[in-house]
Structures are given as structure tokens and as C-alpha cells.
Amino acid sequence: MLKRYPSIQSMQAFLQAARAGSFSSAARQLSLTHSAISQQIRTLEEFVGQPLFVREGARVVLTDAGALFANQLGDGFEQIDRALSSVKERAVRQSITLDVDPELAQSWLVARLPALLGALNGTALTMLSAPRHDRGAFERADLALRYGYGEWDGFDNALICGDRLTPVGSPDLLRTRGLNALLTAEEMLSLPLLGYTKRSWIPWLAAAGLPAVEPDAVAVFDNAAGLIAAASAGVGVGLARGLLAADAIRSGKLIELTQVEIPTHYNLYAVWPREKATRVAPLVEAMRELVRQTVNVEPLE
């Protein structure tokens, strides 16, 4: 059901009277009569259910409720002005809204925005980074890039990238320990380990033939981009997705430490409202191409 609001004119009259401290001054500035201003403000007070002004001599002064309303209403009119100026007498570019997993945005996508914008052929891009649990983002965005299992009821989705997990660390960290890659699993575990709240070391340990006991970590992160940054700085070694660590590996900030890797089951998907399938198809393909370029890129000299 649509909400009922006071008229724009009554709210403008209220703000002008609040600024001038006088109904007569507000009437002159708005080219209205004193009685018209009084009636509009009386109507507004009836709507909110309490007085907005009290009279002090020849002036009117805001009540506490009036002061609160004036402060917030002024911000509201500024937003209305911005909204109107954004479309008034101007050609509006075609745009698309993309919601991106924050870890993916930090570690991978931002560096590829020029290529992505080029693939969109002049379409403007708005980027959001809603929390993973916020399903409402799927309705606010044309397309969302999320890690998951491909299960988003009510929305279409497509796998963008299957991935793998491998231990990575800084070459400087290895040099300080007198080690050279590739390491044995036991050598790798002798280094300070980085943890990730959404991932256990146990599946990797099992794949390496080691006891499946979660090891101690010198630092634990709730964001994979932060873990990769810490590993690049030599804080420790961590399990990282190939896609998220690709740029750091390519630049030489990180190296893969062992030949033991495991597939990920929690992978990158594009998710979109079903009615937007045609609109987002070029963006989905652009993302897949950027992933292909990342996976096949040659190391920097």
C-alpha cells in the first residue's frame, strides 16, 4: 500500500519558516499570503500529530520535534534536488548494477575494471558490495557475483569459475627460513600459518597425507583479500583460491609452495533475477572471459 505524505508545498513552507523564524518572511519569500503559510504548517502539524513551532513575541521558534524534523527534512530535499538534477534535461546513459563479493572485488575485479568497462561498450557500471547473507542485493542489482554452491532459489545463476586451493607465501619469507619452493608438506607446516574463518586446513592436510588436525595459526582472517595481503607481506602462509591470488603470484609477491592442491566446492557464480537474463548476458560472458585471461596469463618478467 502506498504511503500518504504531506504536500511538498507544506514542507517547503515549514522549512522556509524555520529558517526565517517568521511566517510573514516565509510568505514573502515564497510569494504566498501569511494565511496560506499558516494553513500549510497547520496541516503539517496535524499530519505529524504535534506542534512544530511555538510563538515567542513577533517570532516563531521551532519545538524540539520541529528542530528534528527540519534537520532531516533539509537533507531529504537535498537528495531530491540531486535526483532531479541527475536526469533533468540530459541524456541518461544506459547503466547496469553489479553486486560483487567484497573479497573478489578487492583481490581481483578492481584491477580489471578498465577491461570490463571496455567490454560493456559505453554502458555505465554501478558496483555494490553487499554482505553475503543479504539476498535483497539480488533484487537491487542486475547481476551479483557471489561464492556459493549454485543454490539461489528464485534466481537464475551460472558458474563463472571453478577453482582450487593451494598454500601460498612470500618468497621473502622462504628466504628468511632458508627454504626454496617447492616445499614438502612437512616443510610448509614449519612456517607460520594464516587461518581463514570460512575455511579449514583439514581437507588440505588430508590430501597431503598428514594428520587431519587443525593447526594453530598466527593470525586468522574473515576476509580472503586480507589473508592474501598478509601472506604477500610475509606474515605467514595461507590457503588461497587461485583466482584471488593470481595477481599476487603473477607479480612475484606470492608463490605456490607445494604441489598439493584441492578443488573448491564453494565457487564463483553469477546470480540474476530471471527477468533480466537478456540484459545481463553480455556481462556474464565478459566475466567469464576475464577469468579465462586470469587463469592463462603468463608470469611477469
Burial of 5 (0-12, 13-18, 19+ CB in 10 A): exposed
* Cβ-based neighbours of 235, under 8 Å, separated by 6 or more: 192, 194, 218, 219
129 or 176, which is more confident: 176
Strand partners, 145: 100, 270
pTM of the model: 0.67
Cell numbers placing 158: 551460472
pLDDT, tens only, 206-252 = 999 999 999 999 999 999 999 999 999 999 999 999 999 999 999 99
Q: What is the mean pLDDT of the chain?
A: 89
pLDDT of residue 47: 92
CATH, domain range 8-87:
1.10.10.10
pLDDT, tens only, 280-293 = 999 999 999 999 99
> Which DSSP category does 136 fall into?
T
Evaluate if residue 184 carries a pLDDT over 90. yes
Residue ranges of the domains in the chain? Answer: 8-87, 95-161+266-296, 164-263
Which residue do the cell numbers 502539524 mark?
Answer: 45
Q: Which CATH number fits domain 95-161+266-296: 3.40.190.10, 1.20.1290.10, 1.10.10.60, 3.40.50.300?
A: 3.40.190.10
pLDDT of residue 54: 92
CATH 3.40.190.10 fits 164-263, yes or no: yes
Cell numbers placing 67: 528542530
Helices (H) and strands (E) in the chain, counts: 13, 13
Do 8-87 and 164-263 share a fold?
no
Specify the 3-state DSSP secondary structure of 53. strand
pLDDT of residue 228: 97
Which residue do the cell numbers 500529530 mark?
Answer: 49
DSSP letters spanning 151-203: --TTEEEEEEE--EEEEEE-HHHHHHTT--SSPPHHHHHTSPBEEETTB-SHH
Specify the 3-state DSSP secondary structure of 173. helix
CA 117 – CA 127 distance, rounded (Å): 12
Give residue 89's pLDDT band: very low, low, confident or very high (50, 70, 90): low
pLDDT of residue 190: 94
Evaluate if residue 260 carries a pLDDT over 50. yes
